[in-house]
Amino acid sequence: MDLLIKQTSMEDFRITENITREAFWNVYKPGCNEHLVLHNLRKSQSNIKELDLVAFYNDQIVGHIISTKAMVVDSQYKEYEVLCVGPLSVLPNFQKKGIGGRLLKESIEIARSLGFRGMILFGNPDYYHRFGFRNAKEFEITTKDFQNFEPFMALELFEKAFIDVRGRFIEDESFNVNEDELNEFEKQFPYKEKQITDTQLKM
């Protein structure tokens, strides 16, 4: 597939929010909140414009990825800057065509060129292991609630990048979604029905 990957421009912000909404709608819960997370990340000091990327196919935006600044904080409250990956979104009709992988690989290369030590995310292990992500437990990195589980993964951007890094992963406050804010934000988009699915119940 002939894709063009480039930095997101301001006029594409709403388009990418809608793509994110379409990609996540009813996947993990009835409706979704990832489009609001994306909207708020762009207003945050954690935002890095070079890591806000879109994928074009035939002059149409079909995918998007953003990575933002985050921290790993150890028991002595020392902070280590890392990147939080996501949301990563591809329009449903264009999924399973390698678009998400292309966006992720481009993000990894840009992050490495910017000098970041590593990237951390929550996602499907079967997918992200293909790009070198490993269970964050291997690096002694936990969630902010001191938890570890397979979907919580990390990637070193250079050899032994995490050798001195351990502690709790603290992402941007934008990931803490206020339901009232979400309901107001939803009014800016076309109506979509929220549904409970068997897939959600298994997650």
Distance CA 153, CA 144 (A): 14
Number of domains in the chain: 1
In a domain, 181, yes or no: no
In a domain, 184, yes or no: no
Asked whether the predicted pLDDT for residue 19 surpasses 80, the reply is yes
**Predicted pLDDT at 198:** 85
3-state SS, residue 100: helix
**Predicted pLDDT at 102:** 98
Task: Please write the tens of the pLDDT for every residue from 175-189.
Answer: 999 999 999 999 999
Domain that holds residue 14: 4-172
pTM of the model: 0.96
**Other C-beta atoms lying within 10 Å of the C-beta of residue 187:** 7
pLDDT band at 199 (very low <50, low <70, confident <90, very high): confident
Question: Is-contact 172 41, C-beta < 8 A?
Answer: yes
The tokens for 163 are 């050798």
CATH number, domain of 41, equals 3.40.630.30
In percent, how much of the chain has pLDDT > 90?
96
In a domain, 156, yes or no: yes
What rounded mean pLDDT belongs to the chain? 97
In a domain, 131, yes or no: yes
Task: Please write the tens of the pLDDT for every residue from 29-70.
Answer: 999 999 999 999 999 999 999 999 999 999 999 999 999 999
Distance CA 36, CA 177 (A): 8
In a domain, 201, yes or no: no
In a domain, 13, yes or no: yes
In a domain, 177, yes or no: no
